[in-house]
Amino acid sequence: MPLLIASARGLCPQCGQPTLFAATVRFSKDCRACGLSFAQFNVGDGPAAFLILIVGALVTALAVITEVKAHPPFWLHILLWLPLTIVAVMGLLRIAKGALLILEYRNKAREGTLARPGSAS
């Protein structure tokens, strides 16, 4: 299944059941269908940071274009762009977090470790 569809639906990367999320953007501890532990994956705050940067850049560009073309009052900018930014980031956060976890599973990505001296790498 395509990555963005699987992450939007909250599908387990191992069995494909919709068990990835316990809440809107909070992962389940494990898959209720196959038992895969989602705790082993380290998604962290990366998706939120990237979304804020991307959505912020797009909203800023739209706000500048709106200001140049229509010259709306400041309160209208706040009324338009603040809710749009919050809704866009929160709406895309589930997809971004799910996609990162699925990619970690597919690529067998794990926490980095240091090799012990004398051990084969």
* 121: in domain: no
Which range marks the domain in which residue 37 is found?
A: 3-106
* 113: in domain: no
* 29: in domain: yes
Cα distances (angstroms) measured from residue 61 to each of 13, 15, 65, 84: 36, 41, 6, 13
- Among candidate residues 54, 48, 80, the one with its CA nearest the CA of residue 67: 80
* 51: in domain: yes
pLDDT, tens digit only, all 121 positions of the chain: 899 999 999 999 999 999 999 999 999 999 999 999 999 998 989 999 999 999 999 999 999 999 999 999 999 999 999 999 999 999 999 999 999 999 999 999 877 766 677 665 5
* 111: in domain: no
* 42: in domain: yes
Cα distances (angstroms) measured from residue 57 to each of 34, 50, 89, 93, 109: 40, 11, 12, 16, 29
* Single pTM value for the model: 0.81
Residue owning tokens 């400041």: 74
